């Protein structure tokens, strides 16, 4: 492999990725109708639609500024040999591969976080606050930032240390051991994330006895779904946006409702939204996605093992020889086109699963309640209900609302026959 060729490919991939993202954002904004479309009447009113447009325009302009800044910093750092310079400094401190990699990645993470902090702060305390979404205090924001850094640093550091250790110990077969430990960790986190990580940021309390819990339990019994854990999370301490999710496997599965969801939706709508989440479980979507993720991780690590020892990758970033940390950065960039293709496949699969979960909720509970609940959630968060088809195909893991409404109506029409 030729170092100059690798460098050119890396630059081309970064530039192409930036341009494609900007084009997709542009066509999506162009697709936004200036007046309330006929098919949105009854969902948005004129005032809310104007508010949605203003919100999307402002967030799009801000995303353009922040992404352009990140792109320029990345290109300057790459073209001036910044990666090589930082690596050369790191290796003077220790000759241990694990410590070198940890120091190298820690430095990049800190710089990236510091550069991105002003943009994140502005988005939270200006844009989100301006449109009534933000409920985060400065204290909560600061604590979230510190906790997030500690959690990601500890977990990411341990996993990265294990991968580098296997790289040093097992040679070209390190990817098999790394695949094993990453897969075990992924399954563990899927089962215990809500119990171990979420409490660091939010309070989760069991849903109190009452009409809502009775309706949820009645539905769960109707579809033979064992559900003992229903929790309410204090999402309102950060945002007015509503959500609900299903997590865990087997006896560890639980349904989590945002307190904003309980506030904004009727009991029938809440149960319908939960029926959708139960549908994912009954259709084995969670397990299937987990298996697909494990397989994808194995493929990535295998490909990485083929390239990490190629000197051209490290030297293209300014190194003087092959080293793990520079090879990791170069591979991450070179892998991006394949990552995008896999992302398209996974998003298409996810959208199909969302239709299936909607159909389950419509068939076994109530489609109209699901539709009205989805409408409220979408309007409350100022969601784009008419995205450009290309933008939706690339980025959306869920179908747009109007498509979901049509699909739910078709299910109800078939069942009515």
User: Is 216 within a domain?
Assistant: no
Q: Which residues, other chains included, contact 113 with Cβ-Cβ below 8 Å and sequence gap of 6+? A: 149
Q: Of residues 128, 264, 269, 277, which has the active-site annotation? A: 277
Residue the block writes with tokens 């579809």: 223
Q: Can 277 be counted among the known catalytic residues?
A: yes
User: Is 138 within a domain?
Assistant: no
The answer to whether residues 220 and 227 touch, using CB atoms and an 8 Å cutoff, is yes
* Residue 188: Cβ within 10 Å count: 11
CA 23 to chain centre: 21
User: Tokens for 46?
Assistant: 């004129």
- Tell me how far apart the alpha carbons of residues 202 and 238 are, in angstroms, rounded to a whole number: 10
Q: Is residue 11 classed exposed, middle or buried when 0-12, 13-18 and 19+ CB atoms within 10 A define those classes?
A: middle
Residue 31 has a pLDDT of 87
User: Is 66 within a domain?
Assistant: yes
Instruction: Write the pLDDT tens digit of every residue in 363-394.
Output: 999 899 999 999 988 888 888 888 999 999 99
Phi-psi region of 231 (alpha: psi -120 to 50; beta: other; left: phi over 0): beta
Average pLDDT value over all residues in the chain: 90
Instruction: Classify the C-alpha dihedral 333-337-338-344 as positive or negative.
Output: positive
Residue 75 has a pLDDT of 95
Instruction: Write the pLDDT tens digit of every residue in 222-254.
Output: 998 877 678 899 888 888 877 777 777 666 677
First to last CA, the chain: 64
Residue 250 has a pLDDT of 65
- Tell me how far apart the alpha carbons of residues 189 and 368 are, in angstroms, rounded to a whole number: 35
- Tell me how far apart the alpha carbons of residues 259 and 235 are, in angstroms, rounded to a whole number: 6
Instruction: Write the pLDDT tens digit of every residue in 9-29.
Output: 999 999 999 999 999 999 999
- Tell me how far apart the alpha carbons of residues 26 and 57 are, in angstroms, rounded to a whole number: 11
Tally the domains of the chain.
Answer: 1
User: Is 109 within a domain?
Assistant: yes
- Tell me how far apart the alpha carbons of residues 82 and 194 are, in angstroms, rounded to a whole number: 39
Return phi, psi of residue 258, to 5°.
-75, 140
Q: Of residues 358, 368, 392, 415, which has the active-site annotation? A: 358
Ligand-binding annotation for 392, yes or no, is no
Q: Can 358 be counted among the known catalytic residues?
A: yes
- Tell me how far apart the alpha carbons of residues 394 and 389 are, in angstroms, rounded to a whole number: 9
Residue 25 has a pLDDT of 94
Instruction: Write the pLDDT tens digit of every residue in 335-370.
Output: 999 999 999 999 999 999 999 999 999 999 989 999
Torsion on CA atoms 350, 356, 361, 363, rounded to nearest 10:
170
Instruction: Write the pLDDT tens digit of every residue in 271-295.
Output: 999 999 899 988 989 889 999 999 9
User: Is 189 within a domain?
Assistant: no
User: Is 282 within a domain?
Assistant: no
Ligand-binding annotation for 354, yes or no, is yes
pLDDT band at 3 (very low <50, low <70, confident <90, very high): confident
Q: Which residues, other chains included, contact 157 with Cβ-Cβ below 8 Å and sequence gap of 6+? A: 102, 106
Ligand-binding annotation for 388, yes or no, is no
Taking CB atoms within 8 Å and a gap of at least 24, the contacts of 89-96 are: 90/325, 91/323
Of the two residues 415 and 317, the one the predictor is more confident about is: 317
Average pLDDT score over residue span 403-414:
86
Domain that holds residue 23: 1-129+312-416
């Amino acid at each position: 492999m030729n170092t100059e060729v690798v460098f050119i490919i890396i630059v081309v991939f970064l530039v192409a990725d930036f341009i494609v993202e900007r084009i997709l954002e542009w066509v999506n904004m162009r697709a936004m109708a200036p007046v309330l479309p006929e098919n949105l009447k009854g969902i948005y009113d004129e005032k809310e639609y104007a508010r949605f447009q203003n919100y999307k325009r402002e967030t799009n302009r801000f995303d353009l500024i922040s992404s352009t800044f990140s792109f320029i910093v990345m290109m300057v750092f790459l073209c001036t040999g910044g990666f090589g310079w930082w690596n050369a400094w790191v290796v003077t401190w220790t000759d241990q591969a694990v410590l070198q990699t940890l120091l190298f990645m820690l430095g990049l993470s800190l710089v990236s976080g510091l550069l991105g902090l002003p943009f994140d702060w502005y988005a939270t305390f200006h844009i989100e606050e301006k449109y009534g979404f933000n409920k985060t205090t400065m204290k909560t924001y600061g604590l979230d930032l510190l906790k997030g850094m500690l959690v990601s640093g500890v977990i990411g550091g341990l996993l990265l240390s294990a991968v580098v250790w296997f790289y040093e110990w097992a040679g070209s077969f390190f990817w098999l051991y790394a695949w094993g430990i990453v897969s075990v960790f992924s399954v563990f986190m899927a089962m215990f994330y809500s119990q171990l990580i979420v409490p660091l940021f939010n309070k989760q309390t069991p849903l109190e006895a009452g009409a809502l819990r009775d309706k949820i339990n009645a539905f769960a019994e109707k579809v033979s779904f064992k559900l003992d854990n229903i929790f309410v999370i204090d999402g309102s301490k950060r945002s007015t946006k509503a959500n609900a999710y299903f997590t865990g496997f087997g006896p560890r599965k639980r349904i989590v409702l945002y307190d904003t969801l309980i506030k904004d939706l009727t009991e029938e709508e809440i149960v319908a939204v939960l029926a959708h989440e139960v549908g994912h479980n009954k259709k084995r979507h969670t397990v299937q996605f987990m298996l697909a993720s494990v397989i994808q991780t194995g493929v990535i690590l295998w490909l990485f093992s083929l390239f990490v020892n190629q000197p051209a990758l490290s030297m293209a970033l300014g190194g003087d020889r092959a080293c793990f940390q520079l090879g990791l950065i170069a591979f991450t960039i070179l892998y991006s086109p394949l990552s995008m293709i896999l992302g398209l496949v996974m998003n298409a699969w996810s959208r199909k699963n969302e239709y299936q979960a909607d159909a389950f909720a419509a068939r076994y509970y109530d489609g109209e309640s699901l539709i009205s609940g989805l409408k409220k959630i979408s309007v409350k968060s100022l969601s784009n209900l008419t995205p450009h088809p290309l933008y939706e195909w690339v980025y959306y893991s869920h179908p747009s609302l109007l498509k979901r409404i049509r699909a739910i109506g078709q299910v109800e029409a078939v069942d009515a026959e």
